[in-house]
Every structure is written in structure tokens, then in C-alpha cells.
Amino acid sequence: MNATPRVSVYIPCRDYGRFLNQAIASVVAQSFSSWELLLIDDGSTDETGAIVARSCLDDSRIRSLRHETPRGLPASANAALRRARGAYFIRLDADDHFDENALLVLVTYLDQHPDIALVYPNYVHVDEQGRYLGVEHRKRIGTEAQLLDLPAHGACTMVRRTVLEQVGGYSETQDRQDGYDLWLKVARRYPVANIETPLFFHRHHGPSLSRDEERLLAARRRIKRAAASNGLERAGLGRCAAVVLAKNTYEYLPDVVLAPLAGRPLIDYSLDAALEVDAFDVVVVSTDDPRVADYADRYHSRVYGHVRPEGLSGQHAREDLVLHHALLHLEGSRDLVVDTIVSLAVNCPLGRGEHIQEALDTLALFETDMVISVYEDYGLHFVHGFSGLRPLNSAMHLQIRLEREALYVWNGAVRALRRDAINQDGFQAVTVGHIVMRYEDSFQIKTEFERGLVGKLLVERDTQSGAIQRVVERG
């Protein structure tokens, strides 16, 4: 066997044989030569097996492993980690490829910064044929990014193998987003860094895994939940209360809070979502209508209604002042000292308990002052400049989402914050985290048209849930 390599590179591949030769060649061509390459054939049915076999014959630094049935990225990563001999560990996706100096630059950085556990670079976006699309310039940790809630790319992130072993490797209970799981495990315990040099080529082709937004967001919620489980008290969230903002006196939407929507009063959806979250000691309905308060009092033992002053119910009433008043009411009339408060808007009924839980988990994991719910806007936007309109996120001309151009829209559904992040002057948050909800889950009811649209979406969602439940019961 060759001398112990400094770096263990692994390439997991499932039916990406058409790209695999280029990925392997980019490792072989590295200017830094002390590496080993572990090829993981994850149950491929294309030409991957033949390419892997030939590569192992061509270079003694290349070894292979095959899963007869696909096991997914985390299992493949752990399989590679168990066989790795290098001090540093890095993944290359089968449809991507390295710059020839990728290993040299990353190894040199970790050698020169022994306190850093993980380092990642910028990268180049290319299309299926390898043509240039743009460069991803990640925000520089420490100078441009203090809050580390935007994870490293799962590929081409170099980690110390001892650190990976100390955090228990990759979680195989998750079927995707292994890079996000790794980020939460490492970045919360050890110093991490990034460098500005683009060192790999990220290929865009077809409906890739990373573009399946619904599954991606669900996976991130599960990963956060697992990381935060049984740790809310240690994270300082303490006693939690939900406040449902339930104004009911709109001229253009009479009795909107209690009026039926898809067969139930609108407020039921917010209350049910809040009651799915065990962390809440109480759910307060802050309203301007005594009938809504009475309805809340009868709804559940953890729910009660509170009629707020008329001055906090006008057209321009501020959410922060309404929340602060609700907190003072809890602490005064109810003698309940709250450490964390979550605001829920009654006119956002598509939000679910899992979104609320993710907001709390995000507040805990990243130790922020506040977390808000947003959806990401993938449209091409313009602002008016000296010569007329100019694109605000120009990469969307090519349907490329760049971190620096990402646009997040506050959807009003969930806001979680710590008690000391709000007072009589309003919000006092310094660090603001976020959770991403789908655009389809972010509709607000502000007009009759939107009420009709959201009602149809709720019926569709209930129909789908019922069909899934029937399948589970039959299974």
C-alpha cells in the first residue's frame, strides 16, 4: 500500500457515469499529489461500475466500494470515512469537478490554521456541457458574515478527519442534505473558515436533487429538529409563548377571523399549528374582538383570548408594540415570565406546526435574537438606475441562484424572538435568523380574492393529507 495520504477524496456516484470520468480525471490531475480517492458506486445501473473498475486499475491511489442497492449520500459518506486514511476528508460529487489546485489550496490553508476544523471555497457554475454560467462568491466568514446560518456547500468542503469522527460522522437517519447536517455539527463546536478562490465546478443539469425545494426544506427541518432535540433549555429558550395576531375588524374582510375557510374558522389553522408545538406553555390570541377572545377561551386549555387596547388595532398598528403589550399582559395579569415569544399571523393559515418548530430550533441552534419566516424569490428583479432599469439579481437571467443575489420575502407567518429583543420601543434584535418556507405556503389573506385562493389550497392540502393517511393505514 502507498504511503499514508494527506487527503482522502471520495466521490459518491449513482447513475452519473456520463460525468464520472471528468470528476475522476480532475482528482488525478491535482497539483497536490498526496491523496487517495474512494469511489462509492451507490447501486448504479449505468456505466458507473465499468468506469470505477478501470480507474482502480489505472491508479493505485484509487479504491472502490459498491452498494448493491442505493443507500444515499450520508451512508456513502460514512462508508468512505471508515476507510479513509488521510488527515483531511473531502467530497467531490460525480457530476462536478475540481480545479487542478483545489487540494493544494485547501490543504495549505488547514496546515497554516490548525484551529480551523473546516474550510470551503468559492466555485464556478457550469451547465451540463461544462460551459461557464457564473461564479459563486460566498460571504467571507468574520468580515461579511457573523451569523453562520448559510452552510458550506456539501461538496468541496475540506474537514479534518478527527473532527468528523468526534462529531459522530454523518447522520444516516436523513436521506439528503448531508452537508447541512455536517455544518450544524461542526460549525457550532469548532472554528470554520472559507476562502475566496473558486476551486471547483458545480454542474447544473436537469431536475437535480438540490432543486427539489419541498424535499430540501423538509430535510433541513428534520436536521434542525434532531440537532436541537432536548436542548432548548440549554440554548436558553426557557419558557415559550405563542401570540396569535387576530385582528377581526377589517371593512373589506368582515369577521375574517371567525368566518369559515375550507369548512373551519380561519383562526383554527393558526391555533392547531401552535398546539402542535410542545414547547409552548400558553397560546395567547391577541384580538380586537371580544367574540374572538371568547372563541379562543373555549378552544383548548393552553389557549386563551386577550382583547388588546383600541390603539393597538388601528390600520397602522405595529406588530412589535402589539407583541410587547401581550408580553406585559402575560407577565402582569397571568404572572407568567416568558423567555421566548413566537408571533403567528392569523391571515397566514398555510403555515404549519413544523414551520413554528423550525423557527424555535433555528433560534436555539444559531443563538440569534430573532428568527423570521420568508420565502425565496427566484424571479428576475430590476431597480431603476442612471440609465434606466438594471437587474438586481442578474444571474437569474441564466436561472442561477447566487448567494449574494438571493432575495428573501417576509411572508408574515412566523416570528420567533427572545424576551430581551423587544421592549416598549419595539424590536431590539441585532442578529436575525430565518426559516425558508415554500412560496405555496406563504400566501396571506388580505383580500377576498386571496381568501378564495387560500381556501382552495387548504382543501387541496387536506385532500392530499387524507390520501397519504389512507395509504399509510393500508400499508
Question: What does the pLDDT look like over 355-414, one tens digit per residue?
Answer: 999 999 999 999 999 999 999 999 999 999 999 999 999 999 888 999 999 999 999 999
Q: What is the pLDDT of residue 471?
A: 41
* Whether residues 308 and 391 fall in one domain: yes
List pLDDT tens digits, range 89-128. 999 999 999 999 999 999 999 999 999 999 999 999 999 9
Please state whether beta strands 97-98 and 192-203 pair in parallel, antiparallel, or not at all (unpaired).
Answer: antiparallel
Q: What is the pLDDT of residue 2?
A: 63
Is a pLDDT exceeding 60 seen at residue 327? yes
> Residue 48's CB: how many other CB atoms inside 10 A?
24
* Whether residues 133 and 205 fall in one domain: yes
* Structural domain of 313: 240-468
Is a pLDDT exceeding 90 seen at residue 311? no
Average pLDDT, the chain: 91
* Whether residues 185 and 314 fall in one domain: no
Sorting pLDDT into bands at 50, 70 and 90, what band is 469?
A: very low
Sorting pLDDT into bands at 50, 70 and 90, what band is 194?
A: very high
Query: Is residue 395 domain-resident?
Result: yes
Where is mean pLDDT largest: 165-169, 307-311, 353-357? 353-357
As a whole number of angstroms, the distance between CA 15 and CA 13 comes to 6
Q: Smallest Cα–Cα separation from 367: which of 422, 417, 435?
A: 417
The three grid cell numbers given for residue 343, joined into one nine-digit string: 408571533
* Whether residues 288 and 363 fall in one domain: yes
Query: Is residue 232 domain-resident?
Result: no
Query: Is residue 26 domain-resident?
Result: yes
Sorting pLDDT into bands at 50, 70 and 90, what band is 211?
A: low
Which residues are 375's β-sheet partners? 409
As a whole number of angstroms, the distance between CA 256 and CA 270 comes to 13
CATH code for the domain of 400: 3.90.550.10
Q: What is the CA radius of gyration of the chain?
A: 25
Query: Is residue 151 domain-resident?
Result: yes
List pLDDT tens digits, range 45-66. 999 999 999 999 999 999 999 9
Is a pLDDT exceeding 50 seen at residue 433? yes
Q: What is the pLDDT of residue 231?
A: 54
Residue showing cell 467530497: 91
* Whether residues 79 and 155 fall in one domain: yes
Query: Is residue 474 domain-resident?
Result: no
* Whether residues 14 and 67 fall in one domain: yes
Is a pLDDT exceeding 70 seen at residue 448? yes
Please state whether beta strands 158-160 and 118-126 pair in parallel, antiparallel, or not at all (unpaired).
Answer: antiparallel
Is a pLDDT exceeding 80 seen at residue 39? yes
* Whether residues 283 and 172 fall in one domain: no
Averaged pLDDT, 134-159: 93
* Whether residues 265 and 179 fall in one domain: no
As a whole number of angstroms, the distance between CA 224 and CA 317 comes to 34
Q: Smallest Cα–Cα separation from 11: which of 72, 80, 112, 83?
A: 80
As a whole number of angstroms, the distance between CA 441 and CA 458 comes to 10
As a whole number of angstroms, the distance between CA 474 and CA 49 comes to 38
Query: Is residue 229 domain-resident?
Result: no
Query: Is residue 227 domain-resident?
Result: no
H/E run at residue 224: helix 213-228
Is a pLDDT exceeding 60 seen at residue 198? yes
Going from the C-alpha of 409 to that of each of 1, 29, 110, 397, 443, the distances in angstroms are 55, 43, 37, 20, 11
* Whether residues 336 and 390 fall in one domain: yes
Q: What is the pLDDT of residue 333?
A: 81
Residue showing cell 374572538: 292
Q: What is the pLDDT of residue 172?
A: 86
Percent of the chain scoring above 70 in pLDDT = 95
List pLDDT tens digits, range 63-92. 999 999 999 999 999 999 999 999 999 999
Is a pLDDT exceeding 90 seen at residue 176? no
Sorting pLDDT into bands at 50, 70 and 90, what band is 470?
A: very low
As a whole number of angstroms, the distance between CA 408 and CA 15 comes to 34
Is a pLDDT exceeding 80 seen at residue 475? no
Q: What is the pLDDT of residue 332?
A: 87
The three grid cell numbers given for residue 42, joined into one nine-digit string: 451507490
The three grid cell numbers given for residue 72, joined into one nine-digit string: 444515499
Choosing from 193, 211, 229, the residue where a domain stops is: 211
* Whether residues 335 and 450 fall in one domain: yes
Sorting pLDDT into bands at 50, 70 and 90, what band is 272?
A: very high
One-letter-per-residue 3-state SS of 87-106: CEEEECCCCCEECCCHHHHH
Query: Is residue 216 domain-resident?
Result: no
Q: What is the pLDDT of residue 473?
A: 46
- Into how many domains does the chain fold? 2
Q: What is the pLDDT of residue 314?
A: 80
Q: What's this model's pTM, rounded to 2 decimal places?
A: 0.91
Which residues are 201's β-sheet partners? 97, 124
Residue showing cell 431597480: 383
The three grid cell numbers given for residue 78, joined into one nine-digit string: 460514512
* Whether residues 207 and 306 fall in one domain: no
319: Cβ–Cβ under 8 A, 6 or more apart, which residues? 245, 343, 415
Is a pLDDT exceeding 50 seen at residue 472? no
* Whether residues 246 and 200 fall in one domain: no
Give me the sign of the Cα torsion angle 439, 445, 450, 456: positive
Is a pLDDT exceeding 60 seen at residue 234? no
CA 118 to chain centre: 20
Averaged pLDDT, 27-38: 97
Alpha helices in 87-160 (DSSP H): 102-112
Give the lowest-confidence range in 4-8, 258-262, 450-454, 470-474.
470-474
